[in-house]
Amino acid sequence: MVNDRQSLDLTTFASPAGGGAVEWRVSDAPVPYLDAVAAMEARVAAIAAHEAPELVWLLEHPPLYTSGTSGKAGDLLDPRFPMFATGRGGQLTYHGPGQRVAYVMLDLKRRRPDVRVYVWVKRPDKGTGFEDKVAALGVRLRRWVSFHGISINVEPDLTHFAAIVPCGVVDPRYGVTSLVDLGHPVTMVDVDVALRRAFEQVFGAVQARLPEAMI
DSSP collapsed to 3 states, 82-136: CEEECCCCCCEEEECCCEEEEEEECEHHHCCCCCCCCEEEECHHHCCCCEEEEEE
3-class DSSP state of 178: coil
Backbone angles phi, psi at 182, to 5 degrees: -80, -5
Q: Which of 134, 150, 167, 215 is catalytic?
A: 167
Give residue 8's pLDDT.
44
- Model-level pTM? 0.85
d(CA 214, CA 39): 9
What averages of pLDDT result for each successive group of 10 residues across the chain (215 residues)?
A: 42 64 94 96 95 95 93 89 91 96 91 60 81 90 92 97 88 91 95 94 79 50
Domains located in the chain, CATH noted:
10-208 (3.30.930.10)
Give residue 201's pLDDT.
86
Would you call 167 a catalytic residue per the annotation?
A: yes
- Contacts of residue 171, defined as CB under 8 A and 6 or more positions apart, other chains included, come to none
